[in-house]
């Protein structure tokens, strides 16, 4: 049997023409319902002056504005005055007093020897019968020395004396005395404070007539 082609038949071509005309009528009808499609693009213009957009004012200040306002504030007047006073003050030269001759002595109080300097104080054993602010003289001067010369006593420096004043009669720091005996259950813990006297050295005098020994007179040890 010979096959029949639908595309070559006259009925198929008529059907296609009818569908094209129907589609054309439907599109033209839609263009009439929508008016803005019929207008050209050139006729559409944007009018910015008709409805201008409102401009919002910023309600938060910028950091630069706040910083500049702080920087432009005037400085405190008290600070300026203090700076001016510090600049005007001129350091006055300090007058250095001449140093006194450094002198020292070795004295014996009781059974102990002490090195004393004028203006300083020492602690000695309790001096019986001495009251506060009493002036005393220490006669047992074993040696007197300065930067250049030395007066050595044999055994004491003749006519030399150390003048002092009693500042206080007090007790020394506590010393713990502990006693123990083994196998006897014997334990003793005792605290002892030795009474002492505080002396302020005033001056050293009376040694000038005693023969002195200079450093140049001492022969070096070979």
Mean pLDDT by 10 residues, the chain (222 residues): 48 61 52 48 48 49 47 54 51 51 90 95 94 95 92 93 96 96 96 97 93 77 70
pLDDT in the model for residue 213? 84
pLDDT in the model for residue 89? 45
The pTM (predicted TM-score) of the whole model is 0.51
- In sign, the C-alpha dihedral spanning 76, 79, 83, 88 is positive
Give the position of tokens 């002595």: 105
How many other C-beta atoms are found inside a 10 Å radius of the C-beta of residue 151?
Answer: 21
Secondary structure percentages of the chain, helix, strand, coil, to 5: 25, 30, 45
Contacts made by residues 205-210, CB under 8 angstroms, sequence distance 24+: 205/160, 205/161, 205/163, 206/157, 206/159, 206/160, 206/161, 207/105, 207/141, 207/144, 207/151, 207/157, 207/159, 207/160, 209/158, 209/159, 210/144, 210/151, 210/153, 210/157, 210/158, 210/159, 210/160
The C-alpha atoms of residue 169 and residue 160 are separated, in whole angstroms, by 26
CA 165 to chain centre: 44
pLDDT in the model for residue 152? 92
pLDDT in the model for residue 173? 96
């Amino acid at each position: 049997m010979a096959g029949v082609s639908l595309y070559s038949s006259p009925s198929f071509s008529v059907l296609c023409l009818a569908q094209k005309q129907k589609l054309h009528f439907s599109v033209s009808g839609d263009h009439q319902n929508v008016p803005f499609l019929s207008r050209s693009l050139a006729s559409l213009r944007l009018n910015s002056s008709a409805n201008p957009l409102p401009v919002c004012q910023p309600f938060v200040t910028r950091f630069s504005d706040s910083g500049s306002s702080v920087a432009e504030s005037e400085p405190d007047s008290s600070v300026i005055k203090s700076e001016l006073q510090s600049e005007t003050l001129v350091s006055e030269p300090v007058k250095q007093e001449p140093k006194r001759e450094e002198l020292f002595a070795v004295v014996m109080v009781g059974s102990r020897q002490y090195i004393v300097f004028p203006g300083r104080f020492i602690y000695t054993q309790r001096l019986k019968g001495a009251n506060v602010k009493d002036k005393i003289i220490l006669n047992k001067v074993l040696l007197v020395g300065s930067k250049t010369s030395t007066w050595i006593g044999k055994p004491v420096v003749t006519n030399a004396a150390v003048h002092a004043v009693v500042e206080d009669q007090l007790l020394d720091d506590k010393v713990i005395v502990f006693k123990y005996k083994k196998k006897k259950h014997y334990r003793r813990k005792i605290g002892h404070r030795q009474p002492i006297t505080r002396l302020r050295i005033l001056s050293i005098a009376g040694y000038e007539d005693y023969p002195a020994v200079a450093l140049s007179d001492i022969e070096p040890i070979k």
